[in-house]
Each structure stands twice: as structure tokens, then as C-alpha cells.
Amino acid sequence: AQKITQTQPGMFVQEKEAVTLDCTYDTSDQSYGLFWYKQPSSGEMIFLIYQGSYDEQNATEGRYSLNFQKARKSANLVISASQLGDSAMYFCAMRGDSNYQLIWGAGTKLIIKP
Amino acid sequence: NAGVTQTPKFQVLKTGQSMTLQCAQDMNHEYMSWYRQDPGMGLRLIHYSVGAGITDQGEVPNGYNVSRSTTEDFPLRLLSAAPSQTSVYFCASSYPPEFNSPLHFGNGTRLTVT
């Protein structure tokens, strides 16, 4: 069965510091994608970054990067130089080639302190 | 460019009432889905569709119906509302329904059943 685990229910980080949000996954699919979404207090779901299972390099999008370790089945999100606006819930999700449904973690609530 | 549009944004129902949550996308996406989000939990899939005329059940389909008569629209019907259906509902779409395709979300509908 497919599963996403986010072990950090909440995190406090000082502004301008880098932060790593953990995500581990389990799947038997050969091809799969890993996604991170941000949900601010306003409620919308914002797509941040994608990593494919066959991608050689870690994905980067601006201040966001994905530390992908396939052998360890981890796909951690790294936010560099955190800003107050980064305070939000962050969800890790996976989509496999067996049924294409997006499987979600429970999320991590990130609070950036000024 | 509207993306995924959900209406209404807020709704209060009494137990036993029925209603339809509307979802429309203008991106010609084949795949559309409905999720519910409850406090402290990730998103759970209710129903999904991989194209007009094709729908299937997700993880938590009981009490909900869907139809997909056009590519653009994917309404979610609550047949007889129950307090357990109090939640935030998200419609999401992607093109194509493959493992490397991120979902695009509407802004959500906050439903309260009293």
C-alpha cells in the first residue's frame, strides 16, 4: 500500500534560517512523483515543487528545494532563508503509476518567528 | 485565467438537507477530483474522474455522488447531509492523470452541517 509519513506535526523556525520538513514514503510503484503543497491560513492549496522518481537531480524552485533520497524513501522539503510569509501548513504527497491517485501526508505546521 | 473555480465558498446545511458543490475548470484537464480536509488530517479523496462520462470512488465516497457530463464541470452532491460531513471540500484537476502531473486546486468550500 502507498503511504506518506510526515513526522513533524509542528515546527518553529527563526526568520532567515533554513528549514527542513521531513517526508518519507512507501510505494511499490516503479514510477512515481512526489509533491509538496503549501496551505496558508487563508486555506488555499499551493503547489510548490515536484520530484520524479527517475529524476537524477534534486528539484529546485526558487527558495524551495527537495532533498530526494530514493534508497531511504525520503523527500524532504528545504526552504532557504525563511520568511514570515512561509508560515503555513505544508503537505507532502505522492502519485504513482498504478492508479494516479494523490496520497497525502498529515502535514507539518511551520511557524516562522520574527 | 480562472483555473479551478469552486462555489460556494461557505455553506451551512441542516441535517438531512441535500446540496451540490460546484467545480469548474478552464484548463481542459482530463482528471478531476474531490477531497475533504478535516482538522489535523491530510486530504482524503472522495471521488474522481479521468474524463467526461467516467467517475470512480475514492477513499471516502459514502454520502456523496458525482457526475462528469463535460470536461469542465465536476459537481459533488451531498445526498442527505450529516454532521460528519462538516469539512472543507477541495476540487482539484490535472492534465493528464499521470504520476508526474501536479494537481491544481480550487479555493475550497467550507461546509457546516448542523
CA angle at B95 for the pair A104 and B25, rounded to the nearest 5° = 90
Residue B49 in this model has a pLDDT that exceeds 70:
yes
In whole angstroms, how far apart are CA B93 and each of A20, A24, A72?
Answer: 28, 25, 30
Q: Does the pLDDT value for residue B114 go beyond 70?
A: yes
d(CA B88, CA B65) in angstroms, rounded, equals 17
Q: Which residues pair with A88 in a beta bridge?
A: A110
Q: Which residues pair with B48 in a beta bridge?
A: B33, B56
Quote the cell numbers at residue A75: 523527500
pLDDT value, residue B27: 92
Nearest CA among B17, B18, B82, B99 for reference residue A29: B99
Residues of B in contact with A33 (CB under 8 A): 99-102
Overall average pLDDT of the B9-36 stretch? 96
The pLDDT value recorded for residue B10 is: 96
**What pLDDT sits at residue A101?**
84
Q: Please tell me the distance in Å from B18's CA to the nearest CA on chain A.
A: 25
Contact between B102 and A97 using a beta-carbon 8 Å cutoff: no
Residue-wise pLDDT for B77-103, tens only, equals 999 999 999 999 999 999 877 778 889
For residue B40, what is the nearest residue in chain A, using CA coordinates? Answer: A106
pLDDT for residue B6: 97
Q: Which of B43, B44, B49, B89 to mutate to test the interface with A (most CBs of A within 10 A)?
A: B43
Helix (H) or strand (E) holding B50: strand B43-51
Average pLDDT over residues A87-107: 90
pLDDT confidence band for B41 (50 / 70 / 90): confident
- The yes-or-no verdict on residue A98 having pLDDT over 90 is no
A78 CB neighbour count, 10 Å cutoff: 16
B58 vs B35: CA distance, rounded Å:
9
| pLDDT (0 to 100) of residue A2 | 86
pLDDT at B96: 77
pLDDT at A97 over 90: no
With a cut of 80, say whether residue A75 has pLDDT above it: yes
Higher model confidence: residue B70 or residue A101?
B70
Res B1: pLDDT: 64
pLDDT at A100 over 90: no
Average pLDDT over residues B29-39: 93
Share of chain A above pLDDT 70, in %: 100
Whether residue A91 has pLDDT greater than 90:
yes
All cell numbers assigned to A95: 502519485
How far apart (Å, rounded) are the C-alpha atoms in residues B50 and B104?
Answer: 15
Q: Is B27 in the A-facing interface, judged by CB distances under 8 Å? A: no
pLDDT at A99: 75
Contact between B50 and B31 (Cβ < 8 Å)? yes
What value does the mean pLDDT of chain B take? Answer: 93
